[in-house]
Structure 1
Amino acid sequence: MVVPSSFAAGVGDPPPIPAARLGSADAPVRPLLLWVRTGEARVRLAGGPALRLGAGEGAWVPADGWAEREIVTEPGTVAFPLWPHAGSGARGLSEPARFDVPTGWQDWLIQLFNLQVTPFSGHGYAPEAIEELLRRPGSRPPVPVGAGRNPGPEGFASPVMPRAPGARAVAEELMRDPALDLTVEQWAARVLSSARTLRRDFLADTGLTFEQWRLLCRLGAAVEFLAAGYDVDQVAVRVGFASRNGLTRAFKGRFGLTPHEFGRRSAARPGAGGLTRRAAAARQTDDLIRMMRRTDTPAAPAMLPPASTPSHTNDIHVLSWMYRGSGYLDIGDRRYERERGVATWIPAEREHVTGLRENSVSLPLGNASTGDLRLTEPLQVRFSPAWDDYLMFCSVSARSGLRPDDHDPRHILGLFAEQVAAQRALSVPMPTDPRARAVALECLRRIGEPGGTQPVDAGAEIHRAFRDETGMTLGRWRYAARMRIARDLLAGGAQPSAVARRTGYAHLPTFSAAFSRFHGLSPRDYQQRESEGRNP
């Protein structure tokens, strides 16, 4: 089902944001830029003092600085971990550093996190493009990214991507960052596979061994960097070769000329096709490292570019939230609009395209399996701006290692269901008298709290307004609202015992009796009927 865009804004207050941590075992082998949006975080360094960061501050940690280190955030903190290219800082900032993040860059960073953890892509962004954050004023801007062209030797193409999930995850990581230097065994552990399976899947799906595939990936990146004007030593480091000689041998064996010769030819054809996104991002990386050593304040981006995903399917339901601006979800020939504050469950196994318009920002909030949520069409709900920080925290927890020790991935499913149910409860006739309406909204807010089923202490004029304007007494109105919420939670797959707690009943039998009186059938019978109706 699709909830129309005119439904009321989020009901209730968000939960408190708990503390979180990220250890070195949970972090990619890359440099880290940690930005604190609100609250306070500490980056603990092995054998040294902790970097303490407040709101608006960032910290840089080099790729080789993660051993026995961790990030710890205080309750109420929203912090975004961003992972540049593994070669970033190799010739620049090699020590941990703290710096200020200008206010105008905040939404750009939030969207950059989204682009790192989703299939979105857009000009002006890249997983390595954190550098643009602190560009030195007056420095040379990157050349626009060439559209659909690789500035490489004639006939060069990226290696075929494997189809098996584990091998594809490894391939995608290496395409983003070819300098990552993990063994097959280490890669297998990261994707919950075995080295034997990983090797077999690469060979079966691409016709190349893992080592052959990685070499082509690195040579493709080398072509881009050489065409962008980087020298051979710099390129060797950026794409994962241990030495200049190693790159030269592999490059000449593949293309018949040395990296130096190719770079010289590229320099003789300036502007031919512009830079690829990866090369433009690398140039921006250099600007960031230089800028972090200065005190200048860079200008914020004039706008956030639009972005979109390729047409694709997911094997799980994905919840995506519009933090700023607007976007769309295309499934088949139907377009679902996505407005500010709207969170949308994108159903599994449905081919779709998700897009963001100019100056718009979205974030993924979490996933749900097809067993946890029965869904064939998008389902939407609107959260009020009061939820912004909490939902950002949910996104970071869902898509990075920075999360609470007791993180429950299914938490967002219950949160969404409660919000949908609470908003649908507003379809119960609402009084128009301002004082009576305030009492009604407070009743909705308190549903599920201890004592939430107790009679409300209200004056005679409030009770009169409920009778005159809704046709129900205040007590009957609360009962109807509670049963409407219970009905929607059950239809969403929640267990009756959980629904009882969420609607303020201390005991399941008491809730079951109340539900049966109102709906004419038990909670389990109602749930079974709804399930059969969706799956005839």
Structure 2
Amino acid sequence: MTLSSSFATGSGRPPAIPGARWSPADAPVRPLLLWVRTGMAHVRVGDGPTLHLKAGEGAWIPADDRAEIPADGRAERAITTEPGTVAFPLCPHAGVGARGLPDLTRFDVPSDWQDWLIQLFNLQVTPFSGHGYSPEAIAELLRRPAARPPRPAALGHDPGPEGFVSPAMPRARGARAVAEELMRDPALDLTVERWAARVLSSARTLRRDFLADTGLTFEQWRLHCRLGAAVEFLAAGYDVDQVAALVGFAGRNGLTRAFKGRFGLTPHEFGRKLFTRPGAGALTQRAAAARQTDDLIRMMRETDTPAAPEMLPPASTPSHANDIHVLSWMYRGSGYLDIGDQRYERERGVATWIPAELEHVTGLRENSVSLPLGNANTADLHLTAPLQVRFSPAWDDYLMFCSISARSALRPDDHNPRHVLDLFAEQVATQRALSVPMPTDPRARAVALECLRRIGEPGGAHDAEADGTQDADVRAEIHRAFRDETGMTLVRWRYAARMRIARDLLAGGAQPSTVARRIGYAHLPTFSAAFSRFHGLSPREYQQREAAKSR
């Protein structure tokens, strides 16, 4: 089904995009690729020269392996963007830096790669996965035009020794976040204390959760994860030295000892045994990504314009539930949200609030791109079913900026995680007003949607205190359709819609005076009287009651 989202909101002008900077508090351990979609960005590493990047340019920023941030707080990486700029930070595999590109490097990004890079950012910061994407697949940007990456085999086909199984994933939220990051990039070499700080936990709690949920200590689990990745890379034909670097060992001797202790074979012996098996050479997605990484060094030095992918592959999330509400926006194409046996369609330009604590699967069809815009706590937003809001293409750049600020360390100095709630409060409340009975007659429904769109706009609801005076031009058959199909006159229907919006804004914490203005009342007393007639409570009393419920 399609959610009741035909009501076009977000059709006005979006706010201005402010400047942003990479937060030094997020001490990076990976190399970084910064791509400027629009505007201007400035990048400096240490005391080196500053790169000035304009739209269509990118910079390779080498890894920062500092254990701690310097006492003076000076960031080794200085990344800033000017107002009006949309710049995507993309994180390749930690092992890439060890194999080359030690210097800050500028390169051009062909325009036909833009949507691929936007989707890659989405796949890096959400549970989505899809063939043809990975952090390492940035390498494909500057591959030779005739080159094509190998098609990865389906995940789940274990190429490893007999009896090898992937380590169990911990259930506790912080430990699971660490485990998922290590599964994506086993070469990351952080202490358990630094991992704990990244997931807002303590080292003691993190160690306890790994042991309780998996039966392995953190160090044992990480070793198991690295050896599983080593199996895949050996199966892809990498030599032992390369595999050691890819999975986080200091050298081949450490990998050989760990591998033989786990499997009874050296990596070299295992590699020879593996390639005598039927089907040898098939690549897992991780191994195919590593193959693409090998081209990353060449990509910075070659001048040939690479061929863009012929299509964006479909992608989907595993079935999962969030403990917060998540807002996801369709930038291109279409997708779906499955909750139980119910499918909700997602169209281009539509942002969908996915309710917390509901098991769901989110999918993207071929040549489709989505981005997360932010989150809301259950105490801040009362949501029990999916809710959609539509935005015009004029909002594209601003919404991309919102996504980058929400899911990366590149954000404005005054970034407020609650901004997403403030930005969409009116749209959410107005969309919820569609729960008021809607007429089915096409002409009457068009009038209803126009009324909703204009509530609170200058000139759109100027007579909220004397509702009905602007209805003289509405044809009699439309008035009749409202009475017959909703049980309300148009005047009463508009009043009910306003009160529905007011109720949600108040429940979200907006001040009664602000709510009055947003729904077209010039004076707070008049709004308060109208609200009290409709709900039997004053706006303040209603707000206090809803706040008590959420405690």
Number of paired residues? 522
Q: CA RMSD, aligned part only?
A: 3.7
Question: What is the alpha-carbon distance in structure 1 between the residues aligned to residue 215 and residue 295 of structure 2?
Answer: 39
Quick check: 509-518 or 386-395, which moved more?
509-518
Distance 1:445 1:510, change over 3 A: closer
User: In the alignment, is residue 495 of structure 1 matched against residue 495 of structure 2?
Assistant: no
| In the alignment, structure 1 residue 159 sits paired with structure 2 residue 167 | yes
1:74 equivalent in structure 2: 82
- Match for residue 538 of structure 2? 522
Structure 2 letter corresponding to 1:42: H
The Cα shift of 1:87 comes to: 0.3
- Look up the match of 2:69: none
- Residue 97 of structure 1 deviates from its aligned partner by 0.7
* d(CA) in 1 for partners of 2:134, 2:394: 29
CA offsets, 1:464-498, max 9 Å, x none?
74799998xxxxx9999798456314325233514
Q: Counterpart of 2:190 in structure 1: which amino acid?
A: L
Deviations 1:93-113 (A, max 9, x none): 221111111111111111111
- Whichever residue aligns with residue 396 of structure 1, its letter is I
Cross-structure match for 1:18: 18
Deviations 1:418-471 (Å, cap 9, x if unpaired)? Answer: 124456789999xx9xxx99x989965745xxx998789xxxxx9974799998
Q: 1:502, CA displacement in angstroms? A: 3.7
- Tell me by how many angstroms 1:128 deviates: 2.7
Among candidates 109, 124, 127, match of residue 119 of structure 1: 127
> In the aligned structure 2, how far is the partner of 1:291 from the partner of 1:254?
37
**CA contact 1:496–1:508 (8 Å) conserved in 2:** no
Out of 404, 421, 424, the position equivalent to 1:416 is 424
Contact kept in structure 2, 1:326 and 1:339, CA below 8 Å: yes
Q: 1:283 and 1:527 mapped to 2: Cα distance?
A: 57
Q: Say yes or no: does 1:229 pair with 2:243.
A: no
3-state SS of paired residue (1:170): helix
Unmatched 5+ residue regions in structure 1?
A: 457-461, 472-476
Q: 3-state SS of the aligned residue for 1:144? A: coil
Q: What is the letter of the counterpart of residue 216 of structure 1?
A: H
Q: How far 1:165 sits from its partner (Å)? A: 1.3
Counterpart-to-counterpart distance in 1, 2:519 and 2:174: 42
CA offsets, 1:256-304, max 9 Å, x none? 2211222233445585261111111111112132112111111111111
Correspondence list, 1:454-473, <5 A: 465=473
Residue matched to 1:290: 298
- Contact 1:27/1:401 (8 A) holds in 2: no
What displacement does 1:64 show?
2.8
Which of these residues, 351, 355, 363, is aligned with residue 371 of structure 2?
363
- Report the residue type matching 2:48 in the other structure: G
The one-letter code matched in structure 2 to 1:58 is G
Equivalent pair of 1:112/1:127 in contact (CA under 8 Å): yes
| Stretch of structure 1 that moved more, 79-88 or 254-263 | 254-263
Partner residue in 2 for 1:177 = 185
Q: Distance in 2 between matches of 1:330 and 1:531?
A: 31
Distance 1:7 1:442, change over 3 A: closer
Match of 1:202 in 2: 210
CA distance 1:530–1:481, change in 2 (3 Å): farther
Q: For residues 9 and 193 of structure 1, do their structure 2 counterparts lie closer, same or farther at Cα, with a shift above 3 Å needed?
A: closer
User: Does the CA contact (< 8 Å) of 2:141 and 2:299 recur in 1?
Assistant: no
Instruction: Name the aligned partner's letter for residue 499 of structure 1.
Output: V
2:395 pairs with 1:387: yes
What corresponds to 1:459 in structure 2? none
Say whether the 8 Å CA contact 2:159–2:232 is kept in structure 1: yes
Whichever residue aligns with residue 278 of structure 1, its letter is R
Q: CA deviation at 1:215?
A: 0.8
* Conserved? CA contact 1:136–1:288, under 8 Å: no
**Worse-superposed segment, 234-243 or 405-414:** 405-414
- Tell me the distance in 1 between the aligned counterparts of 2:207 and 2:8: 52
* CA distance, structure 2, for counterparts of residue 281 and residue 295 of structure 1: 22
DSSP-derived class of the 2:94 partner: coil
CA distance in 1, matches of 2:309, 2:3: 34
1:327 to 335, 351, 373: 335
Instruction: State the identity %.
Output: 76
Q: Is 1:352 aligned to residue 352 of structure 2?
A: no
**Distance change >3 Å, CA 503–CA 70, structure 1 → 2:** farther
2:32 maps to 1:32: yes
Match of 1:474 in 2: none
| Residues 155-179 of structure 1, C-alpha deviations (whole Å, 9 max, x = no match) | 2111111111111111111111111
Aligned-partner Cα distance in 1 for 2:135–2:4: 34
Residues 64-107 of structure 1: CA deviation (Å, up to 9, x unaligned): 37852132111111111111110013223221111111111111
